[in-house]
Structure 1
Amino acid sequence: MQLLQQNGLTKGLKITSTEQPMVEKAQGEKVTLPCTFTVSPEDQGPLDVEWVLIPIDNQKKEQTIIMYSVDRIYNNYYEAMNGRVQFTNPDPKSGDGSIDILNLKSTDTGTYQCRVKKAPGVESQKIQLTVLDKDTGELSLKNASEEYSGTYNCVAANRVGTDDCFVVLNVTPPINTAGTIAGAVIGTLLGLFLLAFLVFCCCKKRKEKKYEKEVHHDIREDVPPPKSRSSTAHSYIGSNRSSLGSMSPSNMEGYAKTPYNQVPSEDFERRSGQNPNFPPSKVFSSTSASVAAVSVPGD
């Protein structure tokens, strides 16, 4: 170093970014950690830019989070920041080795060190990053009524800045769900009752039509025809004959007084007219003969 200064030469590699010993950001935001540098013709070696996270616990090792070496970028060293850390300038050879950390988390809090190498020059710079946890500012409204309707403005501020938001609240009266449910149930029951009544009426009417149709087309057996009067007459005569045959002289007197008009003569005549094979003369002759054959003793 002294030999170079005596020959009029100065140190080549130098970090030029403004030193920021501490940076504070809110959770979920993006932060840029600066690290710009210059090189001189004396720095002939390959350029290496490396960012490491120095843990608070000295017992733990440093964690490399991103590196530029031999014209290549390596950003998969630290799994907790995969996809969230990148070089601000895709080509750090231009003299900008700054990095961006996206979507900050509280676990990103720590000391970050930028190391630039280009032999024989070597330079480094540390930055303390603090990520604030976000505070919730929720507003709870219980038993809200229409008077609560309106526009609400929320303002939040901390050491890293201020922010606000607007919320429009519109409170509407609650719907009478109990009445709606009861009405729906009653309507359903009435509909079912009406449907059942219609089905009953249809079935009853169908049965009546079926009964009328069966009665109208029913073929019933006729009542047996009455016995012919000729049979009655024969029976009557036969009975008279048997009676006469069995009469004794003592009871013949009463029978002799029986008028002949009790015999259904009209029936005999009508039947004899209808049936030419029926001889009425024989009937009366036989009767007369039966009567004549009876003798009354003592006369």
Structure 2
Amino acid sequence: MKQWKRVLIAGTLLGSTFTAGVFAEDVLQRVEAYLRPDFNIVLDGSPVKLNGPTLIYQDSSYLPLKELGNLLGANILYKDVNKTIYINSRINPEQIVDEKDLTTDEFKLKNPNSIMVNYLGADYPLLLTNAEDKNNNSTKLLYYRLSDLKKMGIETGGMKKSKEMYTEELYVTETELKQFVKQLPTQNRSTNYDRYVIAGEVNTKKLEALQNHIKTTMNSQNKDNKDKDRNFRYTSKPIIVDKTENENEYQYLYYQTTYFDKNVSYRYVRTKLTLTKREIDSDGYTINTHAMTDLNEQLDIRERKKTEDEAKKVIDPIQP
């Protein structure tokens, strides 16, 4: 794999993230090269078929940068503004897997928000949050979602992790992250109350359908006669929408405030969204909502079971 990385970085120039036309004519140089469709490529012991043949120039082999980068698990980005190709390593099978549990503590979400960040030239979605202290106040310590860091290509092996209690996802504190990376991701777009990130989706029509659905479901009021005098309503604050491995399927996390009579309740909710195309000739989508989970309620259930299990051990100790 290391040898292939050297080929990727030092020897690959063509057919990928840019074309010759983007450069000024005074820096172009015409060369004579040859295409070799008879060349075979084997990656980690398995044959690989690229879209185009290998290019030979002055006895050196050249392969398409973006295509080879994807095979190696790298993120390739070209920016025409500064004529620069960014090559960022991604997680690959050679990465060391944690051999032990490095989770050091548990915490609860407090003021989570999703933003777009720039890391080593590329843009990524990131879920950030503070933690809730014993008085339900926000701490100053900032947490980064572990799955987002992995997508940036940051090797997280050896980092101390913190488990978020509502979602049961792992996070890394900013203090811990600083010890493993040369530079932190930098924010390139702020997130307000009605702003959030849809991570992993680039199709404009699908993005539009998801955004419209969230906008129309952020506020609701029960107009049923029996409850109209009891002032039942709710407001929802979107946190993040994550595209799953399944096509047209997304996990939507939001914070909901419910008003009923004089009672007000707050909870984190996670639900699954699926897109279905309206018609064969239409580029629009309808959205179905299912698998809605009240994360606060689920945490209460886990905590009660934990307490019951501990009490049972005291009452009925295991006999040797």
Q: TM-score normalised to the size of structure 1?
A: 0.21
Higher helix share: 1
Q: TM-score normalised to the size of structure 2?
A: 0.20
Larger Cα Rg: Structure 1 or Structure 2?
1
Higher strand share: 2
